[in-house]
Amino acid sequence: MKKTMPQHNLPNSFQLESGQSLLGASLYYEILGEISENKEVVWVCHAFTGSATVKDWWASIFVENGGFIDLNQHVVICANLLGSCYGSTGPESLNPHTAEIYGDEFPIITNRDAVRAFIELRIALNIPKIHFLIGGSLGGQQALEWSIMEPEVIVNQILVASNAKHSAWGIAFNELQRQAIELGEKSDVEDQQKSLSLARSIAMLSYRSYSDFERNQNGKAENGDWRVSSYLKYQGKKFNGRFSIKSYNILSKMMDSHNVANGRGGKLAEVLKSVKVKTLCIGIDSDNLFPLDEQIFISEHIPNAKLEVIKSSKGHDAFLIEGNLISKFINKQLSNTLYEET
């Protein structure tokens, strides 16, 4: 039987940065373990195509798989993003204004909007402190935003393969993926799936590295096609049915708009210098999408931030693969936080 995740109803008219509002919106979320004064809270902000079910996509950060999260000591909370297609209100949801599916009418959502929704959930769950706020990629963007919005709540933040402002390079990759989706958007279901497959294939070029492609996808496959061609086609087809085209558009634009200095009256470096939360930045030496320079920049400007580097040929995807190493970095740099006051 499929597990039903609990649902948190946001304020009936949830205001967005764009000036629009969402009526009757909700977040789906998962809690692993029991919320207790004797347990540290680990809040995970999931990545672009991730979901609230952390163990499905980041099992390696749990102690039984060699990670740091021990449900005897921790309680884990993760909420699906607004705009996603894994349970929270998104483009596939019913629009109360029209009684029809939102589709293209779904409003633009920013990371700041997403975090405000998380804060509503935190308050509803009566959680005064988050001992470990952790996010990778898009999730890392949200964690950093959250640490600025609620510095008195976050004890430690772990920003993995992320940035303080999305780059022109990253926006370019997302734009190509959206253009690929547009090719089939007004066609039949089959062409729509082909366009989403193409978008995912483009994304894979940014998720892996040159050396990883050379090592694992060089030469020709048994069918005579180039191995890399077969690999990209496989990754694209595998993605069909797993994610929504409309959510892909919404969340990629969410990532593109990320800049923690927006509306804060200062330069990026100055805003980072105001961050009071104990911060661990983790970068990947082969990451083409969120290059190591971006994590170095954050760590150099947030006071007393620490930097650790994952050495891997897997590119950006190493943040999902190297959960054990991420856990070692967390144990090395961040410990004894229970009841710590900030």
Q: Which residues are identified as catalytic?
A: 137, 287, 316
* Number of other CB atoms surrounding residue 156 within 10 Å: 23
C-alpha to C-alpha distance for 31 and 2, rounded to whole angstroms: 16
Residue 165, beta-bridge partner list: 259
Q: How many CA atoms lie within 13 A of 59 on its CB side?
A: 5
Whole-number Å distance between alpha carbons of 43 and 146: 11
Report d(CA 218, CA 216) in Å as an integer: 6
User: Angle at which helices 245-256 and 138-149 pack, to 10 degrees?
Assistant: 50
Residue 41 pairs in a beta bridge with 75
H helices present in the chain, as ranges: 54-57, 111-124, 138-149, 168-184, 189-207, 210-216, 227-239, 245-256, 268-273, 292-301, 318-321, 323-333
Task: Name residue, tokens 């920049």.
Answer: 297
